[in-house]
């Protein structure tokens, strides 16, 4: 009797069918694409509102924002004059416009700060950059004029319409001055 060759008794591994191999590769690719998609759509967005550092693009952007806010102030004044908005709504909208401009051009979270916090942040910002002292101070002054009527109770009647109109005129003039200060 001859001895059996042990290597002859071994058979090669069974190969996978091509469709299963392709399905496995497709699933791995799908997982990779999924993770890339999650990363892409949840990454921190570039701030498209961030000002250009220098040059004509920055000046053009600042001028465009100032013109847009001035048009919005004019529209707000017109709406208030015909009675479409209350005194409170007008002052709150005026504050939002001025704060928005300060946030867009001044790198200061003006929309979310109370008046005292805005004044403190303005002081800190002007210590770092003296060029911003005038526009930030004008912004604080304009926002300060909107506080009493802006936080009056809902539906509170104006006791003196003339005084309310004068207060509105002062607030609107301060807002326009703040917009003009952002050069």
Asked whether residue 175 is assigned to any structural domain, the reply reads yes
Q: What angle do the packed helices 161-181 and 133-150 form, to 10 degrees?
A: 160
Asked whether residue 23 is assigned to any structural domain, the reply reads no
Reported as a single tens digit per residue, the pLDDT across 101-134 is 988 887 778 888 888 888 888 888 777 777 777 8
8 Å CB contact between 90 and 74:
no
Asked whether residue 40 is assigned to any structural domain, the reply reads no
The residue among 110, 122, 120, 102 whose CA lies nearest residue 182 is 102
Asked whether residue 1 is assigned to any structural domain, the reply reads no
Asked whether residue 17 is assigned to any structural domain, the reply reads no
8 Å CB contact between 23 and 31:
no
Reported as a single tens digit per residue, the pLDDT across 36-57 is 999 988 887 665 555 455 678 7
8 Å CB contact between 62 and 68:
no
Asked whether residue 34 is assigned to any structural domain, the reply reads no
Reported as a single tens digit per residue, the pLDDT across 2-20 is 567 777 777 777 777 888 8
Name the residue range of residue 106's domain. Answer: 56-181
Asked whether residue 43 is assigned to any structural domain, the reply reads no
Asked whether residue 2 is assigned to any structural domain, the reply reads no
Number of structural domains the chain divides into: 1
């Amino acid at each position: 009797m001859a001895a059996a060759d042990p290597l002859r008794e071994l058979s090669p591994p069974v190969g996978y069918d091509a469709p299963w191999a392709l399905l496995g590769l497709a699933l791995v690719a799908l997982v990779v694409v999924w993770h890339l998609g999650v990363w892409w759509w949840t990454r921190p967005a570039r701030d498209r509102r961030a000002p250009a550092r220098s040059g004509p693009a920055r000046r053009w952007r600042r001028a465009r924002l100032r013109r847009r806010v001035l048009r919005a102030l004019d529209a707000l004044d017109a709406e208030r004059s015909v009675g479409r908005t209350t005194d409170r709504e007008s002052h709150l909208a005026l504050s939002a416009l001025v704060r928005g401009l300060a946030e867009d051009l001044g790198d200061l979270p003006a929309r979310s700060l109370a008046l005292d916090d805005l004044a403190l942040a303005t002081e800190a910002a002007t210590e770092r950059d003296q060029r911003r002292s005038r526009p930030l101070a004008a912004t604080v002054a304009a926002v300060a004029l909107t506080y009493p009527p802006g936080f009056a109770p809902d539906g509170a009647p104006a006791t003196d319409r003339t005084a309310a109109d004068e207060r509105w005129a002062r607030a609107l003039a301060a807002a326009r001055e703040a917009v003009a200060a952002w050069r």
